[in-house]
Amino acid sequence: MRFNERRPLDADSDEASAKADYEAVLAGLYDQLLDVYRAVHPTDSNLPTFGYRIRELLILFATEVESGMKGILRANSYESQKAAHVSKPKYAKPKRWNARDYARLVDAILLDQWNTGLVRFEEPETRTPFEGWTSSSVPSWWTAYNRTKHDSEAHLADATLDAVIDAAAACFVLGNAAFGYREFMKDQRVFLPVRRGSARRIERIRLGNDWTPVNFQFDFSV
């Protein structure tokens, strides 16, 4: 994967194919989100609005976030790195990755420092969808996704417009972080170009024509 640099992708590469697939999926989901906006205007007073259509979109966007994060982890041989650092009983089956695994990715590419805003709407305010994602906590939209996914009867009210906007923003931020800063979905009509926060500086990577990609080394001390 790329870390915040602008080298054009080889059109025939697996990375370019993955980018195109992710953009195509999100383009369809963003069209559906715009349809929701026609019924529920995205202003601060409407953010608590919930319903089954919004729940469906929340699950779809959050699933794409999870799928994208898994793809980046696999591309960097995360499972083999984890196996080398985390002891487990003999013959134990590998556990599914969870929010703590994804927190290591958030920290690796500073996802919690990327933000965006809505096109054409001054409200709601700037979104930093991965803010607060650590080894011991997750953003509210991720909690809402898991609650309503497993029990819509008890947690339908968690599937709010506020949560779905954050989940949709998370997809856009993740795509920019994975495939190139401001190179991802440049023609989409939902979110403003991503911006990087100043709390931690993200260094630009400049690459020439002769380079070899290497796997990121994740920190398993936390």
Q: What is the pLDDT of residues 152-183, one digit of tens each?
A: 999 999 999 999 999 999 999 999 888 876 77
Distance of CA 153 to the CA centre of its chain: 27
| Dist CA 159 CA 63 (whole Å) | 14
**For the ranges 5-19, 126-140, 145-159, 167-181, which has the lowest average pLDDT?**
5-19
**E strands, 6-154, where?**
114-115
Q: Mutual orientation of helices 52-75 and 99-108 as an angle, nearest 10°?
A: 70
pTM listed for this prediction: 0.84
Question: In the prediction, which pLDDT does 207 show?
Answer: 39
Query: What value does the mean pLDDT take over residues 71-83?
Result: 86
Q: What is the pLDDT of residues 171-214, one digit of tens each?
A: 999 998 888 767 788 888 899 888 876 444 433 334 344 545 56
Question: In the prediction, which pLDDT does 94 show?
Answer: 56
Question: In the prediction, which pLDDT does 208 show?
Answer: 44
Assign residue 132 a region (left: φ > 0; alpha: ψ between -120 and 50; beta: otherwise). left
